[in-house]
Amino acid sequence: MRINEAYEHEPMLPYQGEESCPVGGCNKVVTQCVDVIQQLELAPTAVVGTAVVACQGAPRVCCETAADGTACTVTITQRVCVTVPVRFGVTTGQREPAIACAETGGTTCSCGT
């Protein structure tokens, strides 16, 4: 809400200088700045789906004979692709808003800056 909206239905009275203030009182308009704080809580989400495994191509076979001829080492390599679906997201939660008077240090507020 803009400050002037609060006074839309109130007639604006002309400014009276201090020296012309009547004995019964005078009209003044004051402004108080406030800080309005709204916190949002963000939480990560991640859901892992079912993994799918697929062999790609034929296996590679490598055979090495020991130098002394007493054994062979066979190495089999198969390329395997694993597809893992993951759904990433963020959930938001809202906390209660808060309000506090702005620190003015005895000086005029600069609302709107």
Q: What is the DSSP string of 12-80?
A: PPPP--GGG--TT---------EEEE--EEEEEEEEE---EEEEEEEEEEEEEE-TTSS-EEEEEEEEE
pTM: 0.45
Higher pLDDT, 38 or 14: 38
Is 21:65 a contact under the CB 8 Å cutoff?
no
Question: Is it the case that residue 104 has pLDDT exceeding 60?
Answer: yes
Higher pLDDT, 60 or 109: 60
Top mean-pLDDT range of 3-7, 14-18, 88-92, 95-99:
88-92
Is 87:73 a contact under the CB 8 Å cutoff?
no
Residue range 7-29: mean pLDDT, rounded: 66
What is the tens place of the pLDDT at every residue in 33-90?
Answer: 999 999 999 999 999 999 999 999 999 999 999 999 999 999 999 999 999 999 999 9
